[in-house]
Amino acid sequence: MDTNSTGQYNVVDARSVTEEFDKLFDKIFENKSNISVGDALRYEGWNPDTLLKQIVEWSKFNYFYATTSDRSSLPLLIAEYDQYKFEGESDFMVTDQRGYVSIAHCIAEPISNRIELGAVVTSIDWNDECFCAHVAGQGRVCGDYGITTFSIGVLQNFLENGQFNGTLSRRKIDAIKYSEMAVYHSISVGFPSSFWNTNTDIIYRTEARLGYYPVIDTSGKGIPGSPAIVLMAVTGDEAKRVSGLTKDEIYDEIMDVMRLWYGSDIPNATDIEYYDWYSDEFYRGMFSNIPLNLTLEEKENLAVPEGRLYVSGEGVMVYSTGTVHAAYCSGIDSATDILEKKGLSERSTFLPKCEDKTTPPSSAYSMRMSLITFIMTLFSLFLLLL
Ligand SMILES: Cc1cc2nc3c(=O)[nH]c(=O)nc-3n(C[C@H](O)[C@H](O)[C@H](O)COP(=O)(O)OP(=O)(O)OC[C@H]3O[C@@H](n4cnc5c(N)ncnc54)[C@H](O)[C@@H]3O)c2cc1C
């Protein structure tokens, strides 16, 4: 079934709106004020007063930061927008069946006998002499220095429950407190066969309830032999709401949306799969974002060691926030620093380096969305409202 034949919606060419958004988004990087991304966009003349404009902003911002532009800090956005030095301008679909985890296995292989999986740290303490972690069922494990790589969500929980037993500076406490984990659900939905438009990668729909299952990612279609699976994403408040639902309830919501979108004749989904990172006590969200309440100075303080305690992980990095390479580089930074403190700096030459290898793009904003054919779907209900 071709998507256009269902008669459930209109396909809209949104290029002029996306171009307008991109142009204004580029401009906000000149603004040095301590304001929200949303205010900076409005200052440049962006006025999301139509559902089409709202979904364009969602696709360009909320989809990546898992929050709204009004809740996001402009200085943090500018500071973190350095990811191209690692990534280049394009995203790639990797079809290697060993999966992403094989990279972690490869990196960890030389020290695999020193990694203890499944050990839960219940508290940490440190002083001028040493650093110790209390491990459930094992007691206190100590060393000269300690690096935590817990997510910001876990650190916030440690703070709330008094699990840091050492002197933490006020600036570190504030930095942890005002940081934020993004909540984002990527839900894989399997069908017996494809009935969506297979000529495009990503399909968005407008709806008065912005963010309610607004996107279908069909990019798996490019993989040879790929089954009929689409990814549907919800972010921010909608994602938190979805976290409180059962799998059956999410399934029903998705089927209702798909029927609105593609008509009542579509087959039932065979299954949905997702992982609730928000409810997992070892993550409490997917990755850190750029909240309005957190200043750039506070964010920079996250990575500053507190005596023998080093705090690493993606959440403490000012650039490339929320990415694997930020986590990787932050660990290398801490390890290098500790080796230097121990007078072993020559050993740090064996560590991989996180250097600037590519030239940032001329335009500050060229997310993968600009490469993707952008199709908007407007429900007949919405058309009636016009
Ligand atoms: C679904 C999803 C998709 C993503 N997609 C991408 C992507 O395409 N590209 C990208 O660059 N990034 C992506 N990210 C983000 C990326 O995975 C993270 O930024 C990165 O994994 C962060 O690494 P980290 O080491 O800082 O923290 P984590 O990966 O959170 O590692 C922290 C570790 O600490 C453990 N831990 C927590 N509490 C305790 C405790 N009390 N005791 C013992 N251990 C504990 C956790 O189990 C975990 O293993 C994605 C994230 C998710 C969830």
Q: For the chain, what are the domain ranges?
A: 3-81+184-276+364-385, 101-112+119-181+282-350
Lowest mean pLDDT among 3-7, 29-33, 103-107: 3-7
Q: What does residue 219 show for φ and ψ, rounded to 5 degrees? A: -65, -15
Cα–Cα distances (Å) from 370 to 21, 23, 66, 178, in that order, read 11, 12, 18, 32
Do residues 286 and 327 touch, judged by C-beta distance below 8 A?
Answer: no
CATH of domain 101-112+119-181+282-350: 3.50.50.60
Q: Examine the pLDDT at 268 and tell me if it is beyond 60.
A: yes
Q: Which residues neighbour 340 within 8 Å (Cβ) at sequence distance 6 or greater?
A: 348
Ligand 1, atom 20: nearest CA belongs to which residue? 324
> What's the number of CA atoms in the CB half-sphere (13 Å) around residue 275?
8
Confidence band for 8, pLDDT divided at 50, 70 and 90: low
Stretch 332-356: mean pLDDT, rounded? 81
Stretch 293-303: mean pLDDT, rounded? 94
More confident residue, 146 or 88: 146
Q: Examine the pLDDT at 125 and tell me if it is beyond 80.
A: yes
Q: What does residue 22 show for φ and ψ, rounded to 5 degrees? A: -60, -45
Q: Examine the pLDDT at 101 and tell me if it is beyond 50.
A: yes
Stretch 311-326: mean pLDDT, rounded? 90
CATH of domain 3-81+184-276+364-385: 3.90.660.10
Tell me which H or E stretch contains 185. strand 184-190
- Determine the distance from the C-alpha atom of residue 344 to the mean position of all C-alpha atoms in its chain, rounded to a whole number: 35
CA of 273 to the centre of ligand 1 (A): 19
The preferred substitution site among 161, 286, 325 for testing ligand 1, maximizing ligand atoms within 8 Å of CB, is: 286
Q: Examine the pLDDT at 375 and tell me if it is beyond 50.
A: no
Q: Examine the pLDDT at 283 and tell me if it is beyond 80.
A: yes
Highest-confidence segment of 114-123, 219-228, 359-368: 114-123
Compute the residue count for the chain.
386
Do residues 332 and 107 touch, judged by C-beta distance below 8 A?
Answer: no
CA of 286 to the centre of ligand 1 (A): 7
CA of 346 to the centre of ligand 1 (A): 30
Q: What's the rounded Cα separation, in Å, for the pair 132 and 206?
A: 52
Ligand 1, atom 10: nearest CA belongs to which residue? 323
188 pocket-lining for ligand 1 (C-beta < 6 Å): no
**pLDDT, tens digit (0-9, with 9 covering 90-100), for 226-241:** 789 999 999 999 999 9
Q: What does residue 249 show for φ and ψ, rounded to 5 degrees? A: -65, -40
Angle at 203 between CA 384 and CA 367, to 5 degrees: 125
Closest by Cα among 90, 99, 21, 23 to 62: 21
Cα–Cα distances (Å) from 66 to 185, 234, 384, in that order, read 9, 8, 30
Ligand 1, atom 30: nearest CA belongs to which residue? 151
Copy the structure tokens of residue 372: 């993707």
Do residues 171 and 298 touch, judged by C-beta distance below 8 A?
Answer: yes
